[in-house]
Structure 1
Amino acid sequence: MRWQKPVKIDLNCEYPCPCRRKGRLLPIILTEAMGCDRCQQIFVVTDKEECIEQLNPSYPYKKKWRWNGKRWIFAQKPWQESYFYFMISCFLACLLVSTPLLITLTGGFQLISGIIVGLILILLSISLWLAYHR
């Protein structure tokens, strides 16, 4: 995805709602917020008037969008962009470490401990994958 320079959000203009296709964001008087006329969500302008952030007290993770002049683009944090590649490399490292370890172990206690280490590494990579998709 190419990086695009975000456009400043004008609080006096109407924008389409980032949650719904047919909703419109209307400015809320005397605040730096905008509300959707369809889904009743409230959005606050943040980051030097370049992003809107959804206000939802029941959801712990806040969603942010940037306006590119035509549509809203989901604004990811820089660490989230590289997190996917980190997760894939951890999964591959788990496979590369556990597979030869299980093949070379002859049996008995070493085989059981090797299986346990392999399962721990695989569970760690699965938990990273689940955390990324949240």
Structure 2
Amino acid sequence: MPSQKSQKIDLNNEYPCPCRRRGSLIPIALTDAFGCNRCQQIFVVEDTGYVIEQLSTSYPYKKAYRWTGHRWNTANSSFGGYYLPIAVGIVFVLLVFWLPIALHSPRGTNVIILLALLAVLLALLPSLWLWLAHRR
């Protein structure tokens, strides 16, 4: 099994394009950047030398990749990988605080079910938006 450890990017080598279009990243002379000969994307090497970042004006989030020696892995953002635990935490907190309030209300059981469903819905919609924003 190939190593998943990041390797430093050599500015003189050619690499496969991380956009999965069977292109090659070719170094751009006198810059710390690569250009794909297939999809015409430009990738800039970050200061550390372990990550390339795609230059794009149409995508609001910058895509970054790490080279493992065999393939490109997406560089984890500090927040994007944690959307599931955040969503579970939000659902848990809302149900822990909202469910006792709903149970102590003098109204019927329909209100309890409605408030519980509303709590789950309010917690899941932002987590769905977060998941859609950070997926590949």
User: TM-score range, shorter-chain basis?
Assistant: 0.7 to 0.9
Question: TM-score w.r.t. structure 1 length?
Answer: 0.78
CA distance, structure 2, for counterparts of residue 47 and residue 122 of structure 1: 42
Q: Greater CA deviation, 17-26 or 124-133?
A: 124-133
Give 1:76's aligned amino acid.
Answer: N
- Structure-1 residue corresponding to 2:66: 66
> Matched residue of 1:77: which SS?
coil
CA distance, structure 1, for counterparts of residue 90 and residue 128 of structure 2: 10
> Matched residue of 2:99: which SS?
helix
Q: For 1:111-122, what aligned pairs fall within 5 Å after superposition?
A: 115=115, 119=118, 122=121
Task: Report how far residue 128 of structure 1 moved.
Answer: 3.3
- Structure-1 residue corresponding to 2:128: 129
- Structure-1 residue corresponding to 2:24: 24
- Structure-1 residue corresponding to 2:38: 38
User: CA deviation digits over 1:46-69, x for unaligned, max 9?
Assistant: 141100000001222100000011
Q: Greater CA deviation, 3-12 or 120-129?
A: 120-129
Task: Report how far residue 94 of structure 1 moved.
Answer: 2.1
Give 1:90's aligned amino acid.
Answer: I
Structure 1 gap ranges (5+): none
Is the CA contact (8 Å cut-off) linking 2:51 and 2:65 kept in structure 1? yes
Q: Greater CA deviation, 95-104 or 8-17?
A: 95-104
Is the CA contact (8 Å cut-off) linking 1:94 and 1:125 kept in structure 2? no
User: CA deviation digits over 1:21-58, x for unaligned, max 9?
Assistant: 41111111111110111111110001411000000012
Paired residues, what number? 128
Is the CA contact (8 Å cut-off) linking 1:32 and 1:45 kept in structure 2? yes
Give 1:20's aligned amino acid.
Answer: R
- Structure-2 residue corresponding to 1:80: 80
Task: Report how far residue 124 of structure 1 moved.
Answer: 4.5
Percent identity, please: 44
Give 2:128's aligned amino acid.
Answer: W
Question: TM-score w.r.t. structure 2 length?
Answer: 0.77
CA distance, structure 2, for counterparts of residue 120 and residue 88 of structure 1: 12
User: CA deviation digits over 1:71-107, x for unaligned, max 9?
Assistant: 1000012333334312221123223433343333222
CA distance, structure 2, for counterparts of residue 7 and residue 80 of structure 1: 23
Q: For 1:1-20, what aligned pairs fall within 5 Å after superposition?
A: 4-20=4-20
